[in-house]
Amino acid sequence: MEILVSLFNELRSCFFPRWDIKREWKIEVRDRTEAPGGGYCDRENKTISVSPPWSEADDDDLCCLLIHEMSHAVTNDYHGKKWEVCFLTAADKALGIGQIELADKIRSEVKTYRESPRTIAHYVYCTIHDAVSDQPDASMDAVIAWVASYYAFTPQELLKRYRKAEKIFYEAKYEAKEEVAQMKVARAKFDELVSQTGRG
């Protein structure tokens, strides 16, 4: 953990010298369910979380992950244009100090996000659907808040970016209601069959 904190402080000073002047942000290790994708930027609590598996020995991968999350903190943006510019500026900085592999990793990651907006949307909608299936009594606000947190959005950002989110929620609600009704019918038929068998 000491090595992680030291690396976090080093990257902050090197790549984002004008950010977090008061040193209010901190780094922590969390379970992967709480830091999906390996990392998470919690703006409200000014915390960047990373989750195993990662190796402190694999500096480039870990540095890329931390700079990725720091770029979220600096820009208050998800994977939009502001975040992209900030992240690519860090790649230029890495190249300038001879960290060629790190620069390549950052640029490769930006390229992936540029090419996969539909894929991300698909995952967001599937997560909403799965959340409703798991918790059919949950309110839309609760589901959207959880999914937004999972993907490092605010609820408002998620609803603005993924305009089908509300529609997906209500479709999933309907499906969950229908499934419960079908299970009740099946259970009633089963109980009736058991009763008839007992009388026989």
Residue 189 sits in the same domain as residue 95: no
DSSP state letter for 52: S
Residue 136 sits in the same domain as residue 108: no
Query: What pLDDT is recorded for position 41?
Result: 87
Query: What pLDDT is recorded for position 71?
Result: 95
Q: Quote the crossing angle between the two packed helices 81-96 and 2-15, to the nearest 10°.
A: 100
Residue 153 sits in the same domain as residue 77: no
Phi-psi region of 38 (alpha: psi -120 to 50; beta: other; left: phi over 0): left
Last residue within a domain, chosen from 115, 142, 168:
115
Query: What pLDDT is recorded for position 54?
Result: 60
Reduced to 3 states (helix: H, G, I; strand: E, B; else coil), residue 43 is coil
Q: Quote the crossing angle between the two packed helices 59-75 and 81-96, to the nearest 10°.
A: 140
Residue 110 sits in the same domain as residue 137: no
Distance CA 145, CA 155 (A): 5
Residue 166 sits in the same domain as residue 146: yes
Residue 104 sits in the same domain as residue 142: no
Distance CA 160, CA 126 (A): 17
Structure tokens at 123: 């995952």
Number of domains the chain is built from: 2
pTM beyond 0.75? no
* Structural domain boundaries enclosing 177: 118-199
Summarize pLDDT for 165-178 with one digit per residue, the tens.
999 999 999 888 88
Last residue within a domain, chosen from 95, 115, 135:
115
Distance CA 30, CA 48 (A): 10
Residue 73 sits in the same domain as residue 141: no
pLDDT under 50: residue ranges of the chain: 57
Residue 85 sits in the same domain as residue 150: no
Residue 106 sits in the same domain as residue 42: yes
Residue 92 sits in the same domain as residue 167: no
Query: What pLDDT is recorded for position 141?
Result: 94
Q: What CATH number does residue 12 fall under? A: 3.30.2010.10
Residue 71 sits in the same domain as residue 82: yes
Residue 63 sits in the same domain as residue 103: yes
Last residue within a domain, chosen from 60, 80, 115:
115
